[in-house]
Amino acid sequence: MSVSSRQVTNNKMKLFPIILAAGQGTRMNSAIPKVLHPIGGKPMLAHVIDSCKQLQAEKIAVIYGHGGDQVQAKIQDDAITWVHQAEQKGTGHAVAQAAHLMHDDDLVVIAYGDVPLIKADTLQCLADSLQNADLSILTTLLDDPTGYGRIVRQQGEVDCIVEEKDADTAIRQINEVNSGFIAAKGVDLKRWLQQLSPENAQGEYYLTDCVAMAVAEEKRVITVICENPSEVEGVNNRLQQAKLEREYQTEQAQNLMLRGVSLLDPARIDIRGNVSAGKDVIIDVNCVFIGTVKLGNNVIVEANCVIQDSVIDDNSVIKANSVLESASVAENCNVGPFARLRPGADLQKSAKVGNFVEIKKSIIGEGSKVSHLSYIGDTYMGRDVNIGAGTITCNYDGVNKHLTQIGDHVFIGSSSQLVAPIKVGDYATVGAGSTISRDVPANKLTLTRPIQKTINGWQRPTKKNNN
């Protein structure tokens, strides 16, 4: 029996996923527990939990040990029952810590917190296979099976699983390997766990020994072959983490392209969250999407942009090297290049934010332009406003933030400072180089500018000769 990325019917038995996440992960050389290291911007363990939650299980147990406080603090999910494994004595010992949670009629699925690419469909297929068996093992076929437990058969039927350290030369030639994922009925699994022994090369309680016990009881043991080996590949070091990161990103890129997005180089995009996109979206190279990002129809994102938790509506262009965080960009807007939209930036229809402009917690009204080298913070800006280069809103007095209100059709000259709180009336003009600290009336020119002087007979200083 094999499984690929396909839908399968829900099993009618009560599913009980148990996720093993207690390992120290010493080869990661990190103070962070291994299962918290990210793939696609999300902890590996969170990926596995999400897949298990899609099984519509009544309960999910996570076996934790090393760095347990960090793990529970990072993964705060009411769907999880946390089970502590004080000593790490092998996979069988880990599962046994949750034996008291198993009901006889549970269909128990064992998963791993450091195998982040496992899919819900695969787990469901593994569970469904128990309709025709008593114990089901998720396996895969590898050209180089070194390091994995081998599936040993007698006359085509599964006989046992032999770990690499316990395998002889003949067994090591077998290329069907154990992924570690198994499914069994609660009544059987509890009995087998009680019979486990550490009599092996590693002195541990192997979960895989349950297979030989099932065979000895003349129970039916079958395998479900996972066609994509990366889906059941674990992470033990940074190299493996990087490999699975690329696998994950490749899949995300393919999904976007299948939905109609043009990626100018699918190998140079990182998605660390969820991206939804309309029709005819174009994304250039080296763009990073974090959190929840929504792209409308005909959106263009140029090279080297970072977009986090933002919405970009139809026909808008995000030019190269721009950074958006918790921003809203309406249709037909232009942003960048080298622009930064901070949380609360709200660009309304046909607005423009140009190069080296920073917007924070501000509304940029329809058709308004902030084109060059400016900072706009805590501001409400009306329609068709033109902000000159080098303008800043002075919104912070060292303790509190204050609001700047700019009406419709206002022109602010270059290198102006608007000292909040302040209001600028409709159709007002502020002369270049002004520092405005009082309200500006509508339809008038306001400026603050000292008298220009020329000093006759002035001599430019020269360098003194100290010799």
Give the domains, in start order, of the chain with CATH numbers: 2-232 (3.90.550.10), 238-446 (2.160.10.10)
Predicted local distance difference test score (pLDDT) of residue 23: 86
Cβ(40)–Cβ(118) under 8 Å?
A: no
Nearest residue to 305 (alpha-carbon basis) of 314, 295, 315, 297: 295
Q: What 3 state SS string does 199-252 have?
A: CCCCCCCCCCHHHHHHHHCCCCEEEEEECCHHHHCCCCCHHHHHHHHHHHHHHH
* Chain segment 366-415, per-residue pLDDT in tens: 999 999 999 999 999 999 999 999 999 999 999 999 999 999 999 999 99
Predicted local distance difference test score (pLDDT) of residue 452: 87
Residues of the chain with pLDDT under 50: 4-11
Nearest residue to 137 (alpha-carbon basis) of 155, 117, 157, 120: 157
In angstroms, the CA 377 to CA 215 distance is: 70
Q: Is the dihedral of CA 352, 312, 267, 49 positive or negative?
A: positive
Predicted local distance difference test score (pLDDT) of residue 58: 85
Q: Which of helix, strand or coil describes residue 289?
A: strand
Query: Token pair of 106, please?
Result: 């549970």
What residues have CB less than 8 Å from 402, skipping those under 6 apart? Answer: 378, 395, 396, 420, 421
Predicted local distance difference test score (pLDDT) of residue 4: 47
Whether 103 is catalytic: no
Predicted local distance difference test score (pLDDT) of residue 165: 87
Catalytic residue among 66, 103, 372, 402: 372
Nearest residue to 137 (alpha-carbon basis) of 117, 156, 158, 155: 158
Predicted local distance difference test score (pLDDT) of residue 461: 86
- Neighbouring CB atoms inside 10 A of 246's CB total 12
- Please measure the distance between the N-terminal and C-terminal CA atoms of the chain and give it in whole angstroms: 93
Predicted local distance difference test score (pLDDT) of residue 466: 72
pTM of the model: 0.90
* Chain segment 122-131, per-residue pLDDT in tens: 999 999 999 9
Q: Which of helix, strand or coil describes residue 451?
A: coil
295 alpha-carbon distance from chain centroid? 17
